[in-house]
Chain A
């Protein structure tokens, strides 16, 4: 290569022609220059030159679509006769947010490749000069339009020759220009919001993604795109721009990706209107600040909190009755050896169930699902199943049926048996019953766990399990405590009957959750199954034939109830004062304070906070007095936008309470609210 150049130089010298020469231009902020991949050009050849823009730190120029403000660099040519130029080619831009605006542009050094074709009759031995008049806007917090002229003089030779310095750099710049990729499929799906989905090979390694439309009017540039990935690709949430026609026709633009290994990729897409491509979403990408891995001290603290949370779970209304019966079985007279074995088996059951849940979460997370704690209750079938379980336990406590007979397949059935298996299943049942009652400590510990590595996550869940099992184990190992339990007697029957009612209460609450998920039909179906279940359980006491009749009745009812219970209702129309990032922005723009409640019907802590704090008259009055908008983000059913926002605040589940004082950054409130706390938070800002 060097030899050819030397030859070209030699030839040029002999012919008296100078070398390729560039006339640069510069301002205080920007240097511009043309460079050619060819040091000498042959007649008729097509070659690439670049316009190089070097921008000082803190300033930027703009992409072909500048976004909300700004203007792209413009070039107009004065060329020797017969020379032709192609379009200026645009490297992939960066997203440059500025207050309520989003701009697309470049910083540092930019190389814009341009194709030039020399005419076949270009005269060998002559020099040609390409002159470009440039106009660009360069901005930091203020913008300055600049203009200048640059030129490039190239010798025409019988044999063209590469420029050793610029040919490789220009080849690199050309390769980086976003190009269409036939193997990538893209769909734009209309809706509120609209969705852009793209198929990608190796989608799991994508860490960040952004879509840049070619049209200024196509999308609301500043609205968060909530990029997420699935097994087959990535997808974006888009809000319409002034054109307001997302999904009506093809949408063209550039997608940029950052992969796990730090590699940046950019390609051009033309999304056709159509349904969302399958498996292209679910796991939010970290366009939000990445969550730092926790220090070991923080991990230990999280395990400690998990342990405390586990302890507290013992007195949850849905757990207490289950555990009370177990505790009473220790009452007077349990052989201490047997009690210890049962205590340990119970702990084992708790641990195994918690770890199984953790593993399930891990599997779902790695499959790209946007899951958080409480994910179980986002499935109507699980909600309905738990309601029936609580109902059945209640019936058992009332003495409607005993577990001596044939019904042993229920967890509750096995748990009621006095044996070793029973102790294990009591643990499992207690954990299953406890999942809806996410205590405050547990929520923060699990929230932390879900953002961490698999090992840390399992450790935190183990901490939770040990805390949860601790009281019963202590009881099993401390005869002193056992003696504190009153002697068994007829009073135990009464206690059992009383304890049935919290169980029914819990079942009613789950029925309420189901109204949100599946609607009235699902609840009616649930009540039908509950009735059939009660009949079957009662009938099973009357002998084999009746047991069969009960089983048939239950099976038929299940067949009837299955469709309404398993159909998840589409997310409700946003008629309530529903949360959306755009709504928050709009309200803040009006100068109003905004209080956002991230909640779910199945989240007890949330409902309690609503009851004891948010809906208190004093709080309602304070919101009204200070003109604070109250928005609710309902996570009862899956919602990626909410999951993404929760992740931004390091949470994997609800509740999350945010207060945006007028014109200031949001304040994160604790997960345990009180009337005073909310009032103080608001007043603190009012001063």
Chain B
């Protein structure tokens, strides 16, 4: 009978069980994959030029992560109006690293290979430091990126100081850009001035990130 050994063990077990099971301390985190103020998750992703990029190579510098999908109407609002490119140039001028991330899986809207991503950036006159290709969605899921655009600002110490929407106008209508309050621009200004970021977390808006199913 195959259970006999097990039953003997059960007998021994009932008497011998007195040991607790060890665990590790964990910080609870309810609303986001990464808590604002916590260390930004490390990543190691190929960029559009085929180079491996990591968060640690930018240690000491402010980093902006921008999730994008060129077919998404919300992304279109910010690119067709040059709103995003302007912000990218402002960031570059201030020495801020700007990483555009594409987490669309192959075959999904917004997916681009390296050459495609570079061509797209040229065509749109975009100015990111690098375009990261994350078709597996590993980096996107680590950051809990939900929408395009979904924006993150990481300070020089590698802490996440802003996550959420690009601005306070959750609409795809170009007219909504007028008078919009750009949270990323405000967060970068706070970081540059050495202030705590005033609005550190907002609800992102846009299209869903087209992760691999």
- Which residues does chain B contribute within 8 Å of A181, judged by CB atoms? none
- Interface contact A317-B15, CB-CB below 8 Å: yes
Expressed in whole angstroms, the minimum distance between the Cβ of A682 and any Cβ of chain B is 19
Q: Is A360 an interface residue (CB 8 A)?
A: no
Give which listed residue, B24, B72, B146, B171, contacts A100 with CB less than 8 A.
B146
The proximity string for B residues 148-191 relative to A, scoring 1 for CB distances below 8 Å and 0 otherwise, is 00000000000000001000001111000000000000000000
State in angstroms the CA–CA spacing of A141 and B105 once bound together.
Answer: 12
State in angstroms the CA–CA spacing of A240 and B73 once bound together.
Answer: 28
Expressed in whole angstroms, the minimum distance between the Cβ of B27 and any Cβ of chain A is 10
Q: Is A644 an interface residue (CB 8 A)?
A: no
Closest to B73 in A: A145
Residues B1-40 near A (CB distance < 8 A): 3, 6-7, 9-11, 13-19, 21-26, 28-33
The segment from B52-60, B92-100, B201-209 found at the interface with A is B201-209
- Interface contact A145-B172, CB-CB below 8 Å: yes
- Which residues does chain A contribute within 8 Å of B25, judged by CB atoms? 575-577
- Interface contact A242-B201, CB-CB below 8 Å: yes
State in angstroms the CA–CA spacing of A588 and B142 once bound together.
Answer: 8
Q: Is B147 an interface residue (CB 8 A)?
A: yes
Give which listed residue, A70, A241, A506, A585, contacts B14 with CB less than 8 A.
A506
Q: Is A508 an interface residue (CB 8 A)?
A: yes
Q: Is A686 an interface residue (CB 8 A)?
A: no
- Interface contact A316-B172, CB-CB below 8 Å: no
- Interface contact A578-B23, CB-CB below 8 Å: yes
Give which listed residue, A98, A240, A315, A586, contacts B33 with CB less than 8 A.
A586
- Which residues does chain A contribute within 8 Å of B212, judged by CB atoms? 663
Q: Is B50 an interface residue (CB 8 A)?
A: no
Question: Given A99-B211, A604-B17, is A591 in contact with B138 using a C-beta cutoff of 8 Å?
Answer: yes
The proximity string for A residues 102-143 relative to B, scoring 1 for CB distances below 8 Å and 0 otherwise, is 010000000000000000000000000000000101010111
State in angstroms the CA–CA spacing of A192 and B11 once bound together.
Answer: 39
The segment from A19-27, A278-286, A461-469, A608-616 found at the interface with B is A608-616
Give which listed residue, B26, B31, B33, contacts A589 with CB less than 8 A.
B33
Q: Is B141 an interface residue (CB 8 A)?
A: yes
Residues B106-150 near A (CB distance < 8 A): 108-109, 136, 138, 141-144, 146-147
State in angstroms the CA–CA spacing of A83 and B204 once bound together.
Answer: 37
Closest to B24 in A: A577
Expressed in whole angstroms, the minimum distance between the Cβ of B153 and any Cβ of chain A is 15
Give which listed residue, B73, B108, B164, contacts A242 with CB less than 8 A.
B164
- Which residues does chain A contribute within 8 Å of B143, judged by CB atoms? 589
- Interface contact A508-B18, CB-CB below 8 Å: yes
Q: Is B196 an interface residue (CB 8 A)?
A: no
- Which residues does chain B contribute within 8 Å of A66, judged by CB atoms? 170
Expressed in whole angstroms, the minimum distance between the Cβ of A389 and any Cβ of chain B is 15
The interface residues of chain B, by DSSP majority, are classed as: loop
- Which residues does chain A contribute within 8 Å of B173, judged by CB atoms? 135, 145
The proximity string for A residues 578-603 relative to B, scoring 1 for CB distances below 8 Å and 0 otherwise, is 10101101101111000000010000
Interface size range of chain A in the complex: 35 or more
- Interface contact B172-A69, CB-CB below 8 Å: no
The proximity string for A residues 225-246 relative to B, scoring 1 for CB distances below 8 Å and 0 otherwise, is 0000000000000011110100
State in angstroms the CA–CA spacing of A307 and B6 once bound together.
Answer: 18
- Which residues does chain A contribute within 8 Å of B147, judged by CB atoms? 68-69, 101
Give which listed residue, B10, B21, B205, B213, contacts A69 with CB less than 8 A.
B205
Q: Total contacts A to B, CB within 8 angstroms?
A: 179
- Interface contact A217-B142, CB-CB below 8 Å: no
- Which residues does chain B contribute within 8 Å of A267, judged by CB atoms? none
Expressed in whole angstroms, the minimum distance between the Cβ of A251 and any Cβ of chain B is 15
The proximity string for A residues 501-515 relative to B, scoring 1 for CB distances below 8 Å and 0 otherwise, is 010011011001000
Closest to B205 in A: A69
State in angstroms the CA–CA spacing of A220 and B29 once bound together.
Answer: 11
State in angstroms the CA–CA spacing of A192 and B16 once bound together.
Answer: 35
Residues A399-455 near B (CB distance < 8 A): 436-437, 439-440
Question: Given A244-B201, A312-B3, A590-B41, is A100 in contact with B11 using a C-beta cutoff of 8 Å?
Answer: no
- Which residues does chain A contribute within 8 Å of B24, judged by CB atoms? 576-577
Question: Given A69-B147, A192-B28, is A604 in contact with B203 using a C-beta cutoff of 8 Å?
Answer: no
State in angstroms the CA–CA spacing of A99 and B21 once bound together.
Answer: 33
- Which residues does chain B contribute within 8 Å of A241, judged by CB atoms? 31, 203
State in angstroms the CA–CA spacing of A575 and B28 once bound together.
Answer: 9
- Interface contact A71-B205, CB-CB below 8 Å: yes
Closest to B4 in A: A315
Give which listed residue, B9, B204, B209, contacts A608 with CB less than 8 A.
B9
Give which listed residue, A142, A312, A512, contacts B207 with CB less than 8 A.
A142
Q: Is A672 an interface residue (CB 8 A)?
A: yes
- Interface contact A578-B26, CB-CB below 8 Å: yes
Question: Given A143-B72, A216-B203, A508-B18, is A577 in contact with B26 using a C-beta cutoff of 8 Å?
Answer: yes
Q: Is A383 an interface residue (CB 8 A)?
A: no
State in angstroms the CA–CA spacing of A600 and B17 once bound together.
Answer: 12
Contact surface of B with A, Cβ cutoff 8 Å: 3, 6-7, 9-11, 13-19, 21-26, 28-33, 41, 71-74, 108-109, 136, 138, 141-144, 146-147, 164, 170-173, 201-213
**Interface pairs (20), CB distance under 8 Å:** A66-B170, A69-B146, A103-B208, A142-B210, A217-B202, A220-B31, A240-B31, A315-B11, A317-B11, A502-B11, A502-B14, A509-B14, A509-B18, A589-B141, A589-B144, A591-B141, A611-B17, A611-B19, A632-B23, A663-B136
Contacts A586-B29, A672-B6 known; 7 new A-B pairs at CB < 8 A: A100-B144, A143-B72, A240-B31, A242-B202, A502-B14, A576-B23, A608-B10
